[in-house]
Amino acid sequence: MRIVLLGAPGAGKGTQCKRIVARYRLLHLSSGDILRTDRAADTELGRKAGSYMDSGALVPDKIIVEMMTEQIKKAADDGFILDGFPRTVNQAEELDKSLASIGRKIDIVLNLKIDDRLVAARMTGRRSCPQCGAVYHIENLKPDVEGVCDNDGAELVQRPDDSPEVVANRLENYHLQTEPVVDYYKNNSTVYDIDANKNADEVSTLIDDLLLTSAPKTENRGPNVSEGSIVNSK
């Protein structure tokens, strides 16, 4: 399975990806996580990306495409789920070209649809574990002990780009630059719209039902996946 997960910032992509990879044997490739790791390690890539990320702008396509495509090609046979990439039509085209060069393609696109009015509360309430990357929400998905990661006891942190001003920029950029990617895929692949306004467990159920019922067999199935699997795109 080669899956792209689309959706506005705060729609729940990271949350759902973690659940999907826990169930299916797939590599989770999050462009935002890769960039944040590079920033923490103060690499050249991290330094180049930093100012864009802090202001809520997209990092230029060339940087992102270089960063993502080699890893994606390496994972193409075992299966992957892409989170936060592609975010522009140009990135989507480059991804398709890169996969086509090894005779592969995206099998399925899941589009998490969320109302704009819910986005700010999702993002300003997000808290993450700096050690294991687990993501919580101060109201919707609380840790057992406030401010502390359930997995490793680390103190949870708020992402600097989850401030109200930066969130507004990110949402605007999503509508301008990333929403057209949904139409791009609607012309090229099978896209499933998923109601991401629902709570996280309900969204997981919608995704599981889709992944389990919508198709014939694929080459990669996780341990808990029964006979149904993923529909091929074209």
Interface positions with ligand ADP (CB under 6 A): 7, 9-15, 122, 125-126, 135-137, 140-141, 196, 198-200, 203
Shortest gap between Cβ of 42 and ligand AMP (angstroms)?
16
H helix runs in the chain, sequence order:
13-23, 31-40, 44-55, 61-75, 89-100, 116-124, 164-173, 179-188, 200-213
Shortest gap between Cβ of 10 and ligand AMP (angstroms)?
8
Structure tokens at 57: 């702008």
Of 25 and 74, CB closest to ligand AMP:
74
Pick one of ligand ADP, ligand AMP, none as the site partner of residue 170 (Cβ within 5 to 8 A by kind): ligand AMP
35 binds ligand AMP (CB under 6 A): yes
> How many other C-beta atoms are found inside a 10 Å radius of the C-beta of residue 106?
24
58 binds ligand AMP (CB under 6 A): yes
> In the chain, how long is the greatest CA-to-CA distance?
48
The two beta strands, 135-137 and 126-128, are antiparallel
Shortest gap between Cβ of 85 and ligand AMP (angstroms)?
4
Q: What are 112's strand-pairing partners?
A: 7, 194
Please pick, from the candidates 31, 69, 190, 218, the single residue that binds ligand AMP as defined by CB under 6 A. 31
Of 135 and 231, CB closest to ligand ADP:
135
Distance CA 38, CA 43 (A): 5
Please pick, from the candidates 7, 12, 84, 143, the single residue that binds ligand AMP as defined by CB under 6 A. 84
Q: Is 13 a catalytic residue?
A: yes
Which x/- pattern, by CB under 6 A, does the window 140-169 give for ligand AMP?
---------------------x--------
Label residue 23 left, alpha or beta by phi (over 0 means left) and psi (-120 to 50 means alpha): alpha
Please answer whether residues 136 and 145 qualify as being in contact, where contact means their C-beta atoms are separated by less than 8 angstroms.
no
Residue of 2, 122, 127, 170 with catalytic role: 170
Shortest gap between Cβ of 72 and ligand ADP (angstroms)?
18
Pick one of ligand ADP, ligand AMP, none as the site partner of residue 143 (Cβ within 5 to 8 A by kind): none
The residues carrying an active-site annotation are: 13, 87, 126, 159, 170
Question: Which residues sit at the interface with ligand AMP, rule CB under 6 A?
Answer: 9, 31-32, 35, 52-53, 56-59, 64, 84-87, 91, 161, 170
